[in-house]
Structure 1
């Protein structure tokens, strides 16, 4: 491995890529994989049949390029968002789609970031943000959150004024903490960023799992030409393997992104799979309520056991109060349960899976808690890590 690293360092890499590690997440064969925030419910048979039919309908034309603008898919995505969030009125011109929301975020930085420009985000947060910044030669400014991982309006505005960034990424719900951001913070950042013409990007990868009282930033789009809201079909729709992400924004933002998108970037097969899934949106989203119920079970049980779980608006739970994160991680792994060490002291993260998976995790935690819970008053609330990146390499987060 060292020889490979030596060979890599000998290449004429861009300087901002030297010493970087590629995105990675543990991939282990275990009975209960609860580490990458997937929707662990399998696709219903009716959905599978529709998707297979949609794919079959395009196979005969794979010798031709797909619709490079994905107009039908973008129209269906706009209709889906209009149905999900009352009071918005999006058309296909407001929507853009790509291979996962990671590609969407990359295209945003290709368009509005780049040399001499900065991306601001607030750590700990999604670990792909600095990697996307490096890949687009955009300076990454790692802003900070409070000791409870919250982001106040006052703190956000102070950090914005200091950084004067070209782009701000706001994960809401945030990963790894699962906490949602108040619309007041988003609105304040948008207004304060006018002198810098900053693009404000709200990453809503987990929005469908949010609590009923949590408001989507989609409601803020009207009249805000520099606001972008990104979504994915990897989570609530259970299409992590299909790779389909999308955004909603003003039409001219979509026009701008097409300046950097690769030609025919979204395959005919990917578009067909997504259209098949959207035709069964109601069936697929039926799993969301069950996942939220398992999430709430996890929160309540961990609190009873003496840990400190954050109130989650996502399909996972972040909890502090762990005596030794690595030790508990390994103890669970010995039981065939893979969760996530996010690199934050005394903290771990677990995905909310099916009832069976949740039962397995909670049964193990009840047995392990006496040895692994950190007594109150002994640092149960961990401070954010003092690093230049959101989290150490071990905390590489979920692909979207």
Structure 2
């Protein structure tokens, strides 16, 4: 007979870290039956002809083998796509989220910390907490620009292992001042730390920091460029990549799990890069739709839309909860970010969709206000 379980018997949950039990999991909203404008996805699907072509390619993949030479082919294709300095190298991740986690793992020295402006991407802080690193958030200004003085002071005080700078930022869409970023990069380099320029929204921005790297590679030996193909149009494929000086990348690559990128995902990415003209046209359409949305939002009383260089728009409304629920009741799902940070009070974040989706979103917003 099995021994009875007494109240004194340890519970399995006791083996899970208390801080993890106290955390909130990353929330994904239920979008069934709704126009999905909450997660900054590219709204364009492949044409039937391209779907058939991709299906045929995936059908030929040797799924009985671990990923091999196609991973190397993808790294070569992404290298040509990004065009970093000649002495840089590239590391693949299962989305950029995995790479953010691996960076925290690699830099987990006693007393190490991670620093980033707030509001920003939640995974910077979450990866730090999960790895046992301290996280220091530096508030942006009221108009969501970098507080350069506060950033420099925080670097001097905390000497963080990593400073994250999203370029453009999520959830604000801001493309911060180049001079301020350059001075922050220099200060972090003088302190012996890394800077990660997170360019998840690069396809929609007016510029990329890789241009500054090419112009002055010696000043960027401690800088990493983080990108993803999610916003490119492959959110479901989960391909992220990290670029940096080869010696530094060789050390970071040691914490990457073997075969961390599926060969099916790699083949999808190679297919997309081989049809870069299609995805470039999609990005151009999204940028054009973004401009039209700003014009329309400016005509709505009580609505303030903040400048954006991403495929999202942050706007402040009189009552974010009422507007969010009213839009959802009318079949449109956006992101209510009003509780994420004090600076985001009464703010919603809208993904730029197709022309038809945007029209329905605007009608729902106007009715919900």
TM (normalized to structure 2)? 0.89
| Inter-partner Cα distance in structure 2 for 1:75 and 1:255 | 16
Cα deviation per residue 1:127-166 (whole Å; 9 max; x = unaligned)?
A: 1211111222221111111112210433321222122101
Contact 1:174 1:180 in 2 (8 A): yes
Correspondence for 1:312: 308
| Inter-partner Cα distance in structure 2 for 1:176 and 1:228 | 21
Correspondence for 1:217: 209
Contact 2:326 2:367 in 1 (8 A): no
| Inter-partner Cα distance in structure 1 for 2:18 and 2:180 | 35
Contact 1:107 1:260 in 2 (8 A): yes
CA gap 1:27/1:292 in 2 versus in 1, 3 angstroms: same
Deviation at 1:170, TM superposition (A): 0.9
Contact 2:116 2:165 in 1 (8 A): yes
Deviation at 1:68, TM superposition (A): 8.0
Contact 2:323 2:365 in 1 (8 A): no
Pairing 1:54–2:57 present = yes
Contact 2:70 2:263 in 1 (8 A): no
Aligned Cα RMSD in Å? 2.1
Unaligned runs of 5+ in 1: 1-6, 83-87, 373-400
Deviation at 1:187, TM superposition (A): 1.6
Which stretch shows the higher mean deviation, 305-314 or 27-36?
27-36
Cα deviation per residue 1:5-34 (whole Å; 9 max; x = unaligned)?
A: xx9994233344241011112122133111
Pairing 1:156–2:151 present = yes
Deviation at 1:53, TM superposition (A): 3.2
| Inter-partner Cα distance in structure 2 for 1:47 and 1:173 | 30
TM (normalized to structure 1)? 0.82
Number of residue equivalences: 350
Cα deviation per residue 1:191-226 (whole Å; 9 max; x = unaligned)?
A: 112342111001110011013xxx311123322211
| Inter-partner Cα distance in structure 2 for 1:69 and 1:286 | 26
Correspondence for 1:330: 325
Correspondence for 2:230: 234
SS at 1:17 equivalent: helix
Pairing 1:29–2:25 present = no
| Inter-partner Cα distance in structure 2 for 1:182 and 1:12 | 46
Correspondence for 1:252: 247
Cα deviation per residue 1:57-99 (whole Å; 9 max; x = unaligned)?
A: 323xx332212893211110011123xxxxx5457x5221111
| Inter-partner Cα distance in structure 2 for 1:338 and 1:8 | 39
Unaligned runs of 5+ in 2: 1-9
Correspondence for 2:3: none
Contact 1:9 1:18 in 2 (8 A): no
Written as runs of structure 1 = structure 2, the 5 A alignment for 1:274-353 is 274-306=269-301, 307-320=303-316, 322-342=317-337, 343=339, 344-353=344-353
Contact 2:163 2:188 in 1 (8 A): no
